[in-house]
Structure formats: C-alpha cells, structure tokens
Amino acid sequence: MSELLKNIDARTKLAGTNKLEILLFFLGVDQRTGRRETYGINVFKVREVMRTPAITAAPDMPSSVEGMVSLRGALVPVIDLAKYSGITAETPREIMIVTEYNGHTQGFLVEGVDTILRLDWSKMRVPPEMLTAQTGGLVTAVTELEDNRLVMMMDVEKVLAETTSIDNEIMFRSVVTVDRPDVTVFYCDDSSVARKQIERTLEAMGVKGIAAVNGRQMWEEMDKVANYAKSVGKPASSIINLVLTDIEMPEMDGYILTKKIKSDPRFANIPIIMHSSLSGMSNQKLGQSVGVDEYVPKFEPQRLSETLARRLGVDAEQLMAKT
C-alpha cells in the first residue's frame, strides 16, 4: 500500500503551483445514513499506509484513541476516525494511515484507502454551512469528482488537537504581551481550531486580528483595505501591519497568496509569516522562495507570539521585560 506514496520529490514540486494531492479514504457505511462517504487528506501529511498492527490499549485516553502501536521503536497513538467522527460503522478498520504533521506522528484507523487524486486548490471549495454544522467543523474543504462523489477534506489538525490535548491553557501562559491595540494582524486558515488558537494568541498579546478562511477571502479583504487606504491618502501598511497565512487552504493556498501580496506594490513593507503544520524544510524553503519573511509551526503560541512581536517592531529588551 505504501506504493501509493512513492515519488515524494515529484510531489514536493507541486507546492507553490496551487495544486495538491490528496489520499482518498473511507470510514465505512454510516448506519445512520446508509452512505459510505469519501474523505481526503493531503499526501504531504501522510508518512505511510499499512495494515493495522496490534494495538496496545492505554489508560486515560479519549474514547476515539484505541491505544498505541510501536513503529520503528517509537510509540504512536492510534485514533479511530470513524469513532471520532461519530460514524456508526460495522466494518473493521483494517488499514492505518500513519500521519506526520505539527511535529507529531499518529495513526488513523480507516476502513480502506482508494487512490491519490491530484487537483488544483481552486477546485476545493469552502464547505457549505450546513455541512460544517453537521460535521462539527471537521471538514475544511470539499470537491466533486467526475463520478459525482463528494470528497471531504478532514481537518486533521482538529483531530490532533482534540485527541492529544494540545490546545490547553499551559500553552498560552508564556505568550508575549505587547499591548498594541493600534496594531492589526490579518490571518487566514481553513482550520477552525487553528483560527481559534491564533485568535487566543493575538488576544493574549493585546493586538487586533482580522480572520479569513482561505487565501482567496484574505486577498479580497486586503484588496478592499488597500483601495480604502488609497482613497484617504494612506498606505495599506497603516491598516495591515502583518499577514499570517496557512499553506493548505481551499480556492487559494498560502503560497499563491504570498506571491500576490509580494508582487503588489500596494502591500510593500508588510511582513508575511507562514504558519503551517507542514513543517518540512522543503515547505519552508518554498515559502522563502515566494517571499515569506518567516515560518512558524502551528500549535506553538509562545513561539508565534515572539515572532509576531519581533516583526511588529517590539525589540528584544522589551520582550525580555514582558516575559
């Protein structure tokens, strides 16, 4: 099954072209609806696909965490995605997708995998509000296949946060405070969990934030701001102090958004920070090649706040005094 994931180098070249490859998988027939839905996950987050190994039960785990498995000497938590998603399916979870992102490795139990689909991010759409409500925000993007199947991109960052207690109070205790209500950070991310974490970080820092769910929405908002700023004789940078962007987003990804901002003279001198769970060096180098000023991995509020504070002009002595 890992044959599916060969040619990683070729896939890396997709980054920056607004294209992606997703691994399609199934969680089984939901007994409540009688349907077998098709889900997707970005191939960049998949390390391997394998038959489900023996799982060792572990105490005090969330109900959807089946236990732990040993992979190459490391203990990896195993999450039953059907159980996590509230899907009642009777088929066994014989396949495990080993994922790696946000600096964590975990196994996802699924009924089966289908194929790898290559498509343009512009083909991925923001899910309708009804679907978002039905899934509890678990789906970040949707696309329709030629056979009329609907593919739903699962918010695996949300899965990770809610099954490992990543998003807790301890993480926010060391956030750098700058108390600059006159500063506004524009940020975009398709994950509701990530947006909430950014919002909490900015609130703790004492700066304002304007959110968008993808690059296209962010670009449209920035374009409006730039036009307004021009009409009152001010630069856009007087309103937009910094842009924080995810990489993976439907309709327009973070690379394309960065290219558009950096090539537009209206947005000169506005720093762009890439904030992503894709923490590989290839992704960071590509971000730099399109003009990203700095890269910060997700789920590290203190590091994010330190980077934002520095880019917003708070010097090292001030940071030391506030920590």
Q: Are 276 and 9 in contact (CB under 8 A)?
A: no
Higher pLDDT, 285 or 321: 285
Residue for token pair 């030629």: 146
Does 127 score more than 60 pLDDT? yes
The tokens for 49 are 């696909």
Q: How far apart are CA 163 and CA 62, in angstroms?
A: 6
Work out the percent of the chain whose per-residue pLDDT is above 90.
57
Mean pLDDT, to the nearest integer, of 161-182? Answer: 80
Q: C-alpha distances in angstroms, 106 versus 47, 75, 110?
A: 10, 9, 13
Q: Are 210 and 187 in contact (CB under 8 A)?
A: yes
67 Rama sector, left if φ>0, alpha if ψ -120 to 50, beta otherwise: left
Q: How far apart are CA 124 and CA 139, in angstroms?
A: 12
Query: Residue 79: phi, psi to the nearest 5?
Result: -115, 130
Q: How confident is the model at residue 121 (pLDDT cuts 50, 70, 90)?
A: confident
Most confident of 93-97, 158-162, 168-172, 276-280: 93-97
Mean pLDDT, to the nearest integer, of 243-262? Answer: 94
Does 247 score more than 70 pLDDT? yes
Higher pLDDT, 200 or 34: 200
Q: Are 293 and 270 in contact (CB under 8 A)?
A: no
pLDDT in tens, 254-285: 999 999 999 999 999 999 999 988 766 666 77
Mean pLDDT, to the nearest integer, of 202-207? Answer: 95
Helix and strand numbers, DSSP H then E, in the chain: 10, 15
154 Rama sector, left if φ>0, alpha if ψ -120 to 50, beta otherwise: beta
Burial of 305 (0-12, 13-18, 19+ CB in 10 A): buried
Does 88 score more than 60 pLDDT? yes
Tell me the CA end-to-end span of the chain in Å, nearest whole number. Answer: 49
Pairing of strands 46-51, 95-101: antiparallel
**What is the greatest pairwise CA distance in the chain?**
66
Query: Residue 89: phi, psi to the nearest 5?
Result: -125, 140
Q: What is the pLDDT of residue 137?
A: 85
Q: How confident is the model at residue 153 (pLDDT cuts 50, 70, 90)?
A: very high
Which of 305, 302, 272, 304 is CA-nearest to residue 290?
272
> What does the buried/exposed string (b/e) look like for 17-34 if buried means 16 or more CB atoms within 10 Å of the residue's CB?
ebbbbbbbbbbbbbeeee
Among 8-22, 57-71, 123-137, 303-317, which stretch is predicted with the lowest mean pLDDT? 8-22
Q: In the Cβ-directed half-sphere of 1, how many Cα atoms lie within 13 Å?
A: 19
